[in-house]
């Protein structure tokens, strides 16, 4: 676990974004932890989140020409990540899509820099992979190249088959999917922090049952 990953987990806990307990997921499973990036809901929190996205991109060494955020969750993510990246490394263009095409003014479905070159998609998590598939289609329609996907958390959890949604997206489109943190880092964080042994064992058991 890298220092910024450890810092991100602690920050997510402090902001109430990462919680431990019992949480019913859409899949019907009862998870021992819950993660909601929507709770990074102040200017300071969002600014800090952007720094973690930018650090992860720099660490990945994936060559990208611009960032893209799918509406609606991806809009604040791509905005804050591009600002942070410009402060940490260099200026970078960004864009996001409209849910409905605009037929007046500049028109179209894209707001920001026209999609070009290697485009990195930013999202919070991947569950069904729907927004990524839509994003890949939009990027290809603009004759640009999907360079990968950057998310906040990879739960590394099996779906209906033995693969996770992240694995399915990566294999289907032949692009890397990177994350600020994944479940193994949360487990390592709990081990290092010497927190609740009971909570740690519950999460390990959940991973054993549902992990990829």
Lookup: tokens for 88: 């940490």
Q: How far, in Å, CA of 18 to CA of 66, rounded?
A: 29
Confidence (pLDDT) at 103? 56
Confidence (pLDDT) at 159? 82
Q: How far, in Å, CA of 34 to CA of 145, rounded?
A: 33
Beta-carbon contacts of residue 138 (< 8 Å; ≥ 6 apart): 97, 109, 110, 115
The b/e string for 63-89 (b: 16+ C-beta within 10 A; e otherwise) is: ebbbbbbbbebbbbbbbbbbbbbeeee
Each domain of the chain, given as residue ranges in start order, spans: 3-210
pTM above 0.85, yes or no: yes
Topology of 3-210 in CATH? Answer: Rossmann fold (3.40.50)
The residues annotated with a catalytic role in the active site are 102, 104
Please say whether the beta carbons of 108 and 141 come within 8 A: no
Average pLDDT by consecutive 10-residue portion of the chain (212 residues)?
96 96 89 95 97 98 97 95 97 92 64 97 88 94 97 92 90 96 95 84 94 90
């Amino acid at each position: 676990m890298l220092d910024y990953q450890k810092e991100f987990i602690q920050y997510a806990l402090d902001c109430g974004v990462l919680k431990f307990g019992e949480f019913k997921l859409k899949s019907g499973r009862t998870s021992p932890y819950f993660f909601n990036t929507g709770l990074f809901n102040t200017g300071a929190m969002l600014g800090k989140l952007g720094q973690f996205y930018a650090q992860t991109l720099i660490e990945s060494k994936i060559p990208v020409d611009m960032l893209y955020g799918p509406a609606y969750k991806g809009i604040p993510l791509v905005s804050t990540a591009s600002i942070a990246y410009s402060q940490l490394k260099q200026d970078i263009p960004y864009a996001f899509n409209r849910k409905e095409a605009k037929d007046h003014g500049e028109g179209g479905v894209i707001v920001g820099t026209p999609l070009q070159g290697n485009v990195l998609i930013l999202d919070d998590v991947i569950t069904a992979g729907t927004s990524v598939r839509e994003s890949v289609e939009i990027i290809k329609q603009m004759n640009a190249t999907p360079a990968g996907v950057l998310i906040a958390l990879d739960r590394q959890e099996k779906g209906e088959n033995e693969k996770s949604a992240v694995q399915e997206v990566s294999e289907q489109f032949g692009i890397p999917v990177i994350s600020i943190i994944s479940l193994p880092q949360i487990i390592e964080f709990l081990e290092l922090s010497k927190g609740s042994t009971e909570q740690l064992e519950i999460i390990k058991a959940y991973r054993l049952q549902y992990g990829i």
